Amino acid sequence: MENVGIYVHVPFCQQKCRYCDFPSWAGLSEADARRYFEAVCLEIRAFAAEQGRLSARTVYFGGGTPSYVAADHIGQVMDCIQECFELPEGAVEATIEANPGTLTGEKCRAYRSMGLNRVSLGLQTTSDEGLKALGRIHTYADFESSLELLGSAGFENISADLMFGLPGQTLEDVRRDLARLTALEPVKHISCYSLKIEEGTAFDTLYRQGKLALPDEALERQMQHAVIDGLAEKGFEQYEISNFARKGWESRHNSLYWVMKPYVGFGLGAASYYKEERRTNVMAMGDYCTLAEQGKAPVLEAHTLDVQEKKGDFMFLGLRRMCGVNDADYRRQFGSSFFEDFEEIGNLVAAGLLTREGPVIRLTTKGQDLANQVFVAFV
Ligand code: SF4
């Protein structure tokens, strides 16, 4: 039986953060939520009717803020997933993204009883002033309370999201965030990203008006190195450009993306990679629900990868992982060597952006700093 990862998009938030361009909205009603989750179940059932009963070892509720909606909605989708997919008992990593300030003891217990066993908490920074500037709804104390609620409900696998390169942030601020977060035993995994100014966000407007004091490139790089070194010192191994884990607590779901394993996404804006096809669902709530209700696939675009595209994706997704890519795996999959298919590799090694050990190439520290420059060689 084929194995896939399952992603479910939950596009509801209590308030829109000022930097966020994800497909998510604040102010939607309970009636909107009911209609949306019904539509998600219709989409899942239609997929299963067409593809048969597949096996899934990871389930991921992402957002948006999945913990903002009533737990019953998440339970309804979990029931539907269990009905349509084979979930091997005791072998499934089932994650829900949650934001501090939206969890209650009751919700946490409900998540456990429906089979969720991993929580990814959106912290972003431990500075209350910084959280306010980002437009987050919570304080650092709310984050600590969330950890307690999750611990009491029996969650052991907890990840936290952190950001750096924030307006007015100093290197010392980043170091303080790292020190506080790594001192918390329940936090087993940290995803850490630099702030990007996305078009159409409130931060984009401020930035264009010259009202956003962002760290310059050199300081941002120092922050990135502080993150990598600071987390390594505290036992968080970097296993992907933006992801760090205590030993044995790596995210299995996210790893699927980097090694081109199949995953199916449900809900508006959700992405899939299945049977060599990349698909993205429509983004608008009304369109998504109507299409699902009419029994039509709510797909915005679909594209089957040709061999060249698959080779490129293998390289640039695989190079995101610190273990790099192995020519033996590439040969098994494509019947040729990546050293021959991508002559640029030699130049990237000579420029100190990649390092080579036998059949394996991986990013150097300099390569991580200039990752986009490396990846462009493979697309
Ligand atoms: S909570 Fe997450 S998804 Fe929602 S607006 Fe903020 S960053 Fe975006």
Q: What CATH number should be reported for the domain holding residue 313?
A: 1.10.10.920
Do 253 and 325 fall within a single domain?
Answer: no
Do 160 and 250 fall within a single domain?
Answer: yes
Nearby residues of 8 by Cβ (< 8 Å), 6 or more positions away:
40, 59, 60, 61, 62, 66, 77, 81, 265, 266, 267, 270
Instruction: Please give the average per-residue pLDDT across 7-30, as a whole number.
Output: 96
Do 227 and 374 fall within a single domain?
Answer: no
- Closest atom of ligand 1 to 97 CA is 2
What pTM was computed for the model?
0.96
Amino acid identity for residue 71 in this structure: A
Please provide the average confidence, as pLDDT, over all residues in the chain.
Answer: 97
Residue 2's pLDDT is: 77
pLDDT category of residue 329 using cuts at 50, 70 and 90: very high
pLDDT category of residue 252 using cuts at 50, 70 and 90: very high
- Say if 315 falls within a structural domain: yes
From 238, 258, 278, the end of a domain falls on 258
Q: Residues of the chain with pLDDT > 70: what percent?
A: 100
Pocket of ligand 1 (CB under 6 A): 13, 16-17, 20, 22, 24, 63-65, 99, 122
Give the distance (Å) from ligand 1 centre to CA of residue 20: 6
- Say if 269 falls within a structural domain: no
| pLDDT exceeds 80 at position 208 | yes
From 235, 258, 281, the end of a domain falls on 258
| pLDDT exceeds 90 at position 198 | yes
Do 199 and 348 fall within a single domain?
Answer: no
Do 340 and 226 fall within a single domain?
Answer: no
- Closest atom of ligand 1 to 99 CA is 1
- Say if 134 falls within a structural domain: yes
Query: Does the structure's ipTM exceed the value 0.95?
Result: yes
Give the distance (Å) from ligand 1 centre to CA of residue 64: 5
Distance CA 45, CA 26 (A): 28
The total of structural domains in the chain comes to 2
Task: Give the domain range for residue 316.
Answer: 307-378
Instruction: Please give the average per-residue pLDDT across 294-300, as a whole number.
Output: 97
Residue 379's pLDDT is: 87
From 241, 258, 275, the end of a domain falls on 258
Instruction: Please give the average per-residue pLDDT across 312-338, as a whole number.
Output: 97
List the CATH number of the domain containing 126: 3.20.20.70
Do 234 and 94 fall within a single domain?
Answer: yes
